[in-house]
Structure 1
Amino acid sequence: MDSTYTIIIADDHPLFRNALFQSVHMAISGANLLEADSLEALLELLKKEPEPDLLLLDLKMPGANGMSGLIQLRTEYPELPIVVISASEEPAVVTQVKHHGAFGFIPKSSDMRELVNALHTVLNGEPFFPEGLIINDPKCQQLTEKLATLTPQQYKVLGMLSDGLLNKQIAYELNVSEATIKAHMTAIFRKLDVKNRTQAVILLQQLETQL
């Protein structure tokens, strides 16, 4: 394949990141491979390399809570081809990943042949999602669409709610005022069509499993 591809591997587990680095290096000879171990490091890297050919993204890294990292990247870099690589192969997770604009999904359990096939597919401009892992259930689709209306910051707030944090704790973590968090809450409840934080968390948990 073309040796001029620039590919970013974003994963906070050094052993897996190194293994993936070696696998991609073997699959795509001569590619320019870059690494990031957190969402912050990834965003800094994208400032220097704003147009990589492919981003291989782990859903759960420091700075990213569930789908929030993917949503933020899609918002800030709408043209960036993102393929999620995750240990979670639940159809609900894969369906959300696709709905939030990822170009593909590669399970971490994939063998080398499957990984090579997936990489060749996406670099040739075709999306890659494993067969049988996309849910067409209308209820699941409706819930996913509601979550997709949240901004990256609202999704972070919702994730922190799900983790049991109080408003003042969320405000501290995000370095904003409690009034700002309350405003986010109001917007989240309206978009998800719920009345309180408990209902919002239940809605999120209906779709999200361990990522």
Structure 2
Amino acid sequence: MEILIVDDHPALRSGMAHCLKPVLPHACFHEAASMAESRTALSRVPQMTLVLLDLNISDSRGVDTVKQFRAMCEELGVFPRIVVVSGSEDVRLMCDILKEHATGFIPKGVSERILQSAVRLTLDGGVYIPEAMLQNIEVSAGLLTAPRPDSTHIGKLTEMERLVAAYCVQGLTYKHIAHQISAMRGRTISDLTVKTHVKNLSFKLGIQNEGKAAVVAQISRLNLLFPAPAEQLHDINSRR
């Protein structure tokens, strides 16, 4: 397992790696202080599993950091989970990040236990969003006014819906999800088809907002797990 920590403070990078090593003893940790150093790390280790990304680094600031990082990963053909680790508690910023670019948001300053649990949850196919922030996201995403999720519906997610959910959890855009599934299945599907599956997921998860950000937030709220597709894991392993 390969994990990249991107932060322009060396002490924070080393401290995060030190905290995670006891619960991820077989992980190999890599560090980068900038977008340029991140590109070098991803080029050297294309099987990167997870990226813990600060929003404000030496050559990029704010949500643009996530956008640029995601674009760089797609350019290099590398598809790690990207989780933001930030001191910001701006809910609007979090919603923007969840909508298109990353899944998971870990505030700086959380306890070692929470950081360890958040990373483990992410690697297991879940999404970590702090409870206090999730409550605010629920308001903007329309979750609080939605009907209670029907466990029967959740249990009857189709194979395609689970696949789409797994890619949503990875933070991929509709277009990229369509590309991944088309390549995996050997037949072309459109981003509109992906949006239809996300709409079905919204209904089955008991939310009124049909957007991907709301689906990801609800997955976090319900503590659901959608591991990376086996085909993708095989592709990752074959490159090692």
Instruction: Bin the TM-score by the shorter chain.
Output: 0.5 to 0.7
Alpha-carbon shift at residue 26 of structure 1 (Å)? 2.1
Report SS of the residue matched to 2:131. coil
Q: Identify the residue that residue 125 of structure 1 maps to in structure 2.
A: 125
Q: Does 1:137 align with 2:137?
A: no
Q: Alignment partner for residue 32 of structure 1, among 28, 32, 36?
A: 28
Instruction: Name the CA distance, whole Å, in 2 between partners of 1:65 and 1:122.
Output: 24
What are the ranges of 5 or more consecutive residues in structure 2 without an aligned counterpart? 142-240
What are the ranges of 5 or more consecutive residues in structure 1 without an aligned counterpart? 139-211
Q: Is the 8 A contact 2:3 2:28 kept in 1?
A: yes
Instruction: Name the CA distance, whole Å, in 1 between partners of 2:89 and 2:22.
Output: 25
Instruction: Name the CA distance, whole Å, in 1 between partners of 2:65 and 2:45.
Output: 18
Q: Identify the residue that residue 42 of structure 1 maps to in structure 2.
A: 38
Instruction: Name the CA distance, whole Å, in 1 between partners of 2:140 and 2:104.
Output: 20
Alpha-carbon shift at residue 27 of structure 1 (Å)? 2.4
Report SS of the residue matched to 2:97. helix
Instruction: Name the CA distance, whole Å, in 2 between partners of 1:25 and 1:101.
Output: 27
Q: Is the 8 A contact 2:104 2:122 kept in 1?
A: yes
TM-score between the two structures when normalised by the length of structure 1:
0.59
Q: Identify the residue that residue 17 of structure 2 maps to in structure 1.
A: 21
Worse-superposed segment, 110-119 or 24-33: 24-33
Report SS of the residue matched to 1:7. strand
Amino acid at match of 1:60: N
Alpha-carbon shift at residue 76 of structure 1 (Å)? 3.2
TM-score between the two structures when normalised by the length of structure 2:
0.52
Q: Does 1:96 align with 2:92?
A: no
Q: Identify the residue that residue 85 of structure 1 maps to in structure 2.
A: 85
Q: Is the 8 A contact 2:35 2:69 kept in 1?
A: no
Instruction: Name the CA distance, whole Å, in 2 between partners of 1:124 and 1:131.
Output: 19
Instruction: Name the CA distance, whole Å, in 2 between partners of 1:74 and 1:14.
Output: 23
Instruction: Name the CA distance, whole Å, in 2 between partners of 1:27 and 1:11.
Output: 21
1:152-163 equivalences under 5 Å are none
Report SS of the residue matched to 2:41. helix
RMSD across aligned positions (CA): 1.9
Aligned length: 135
Deviations 1:161-184 (A, max 9, x none): xxxxxxxxxxxxxxxxxxxxxxxx
Identical positions, percent: 31
Instruction: Name the CA distance, whole Å, in 2 between partners of 1:116 and 1:45.
Output: 23
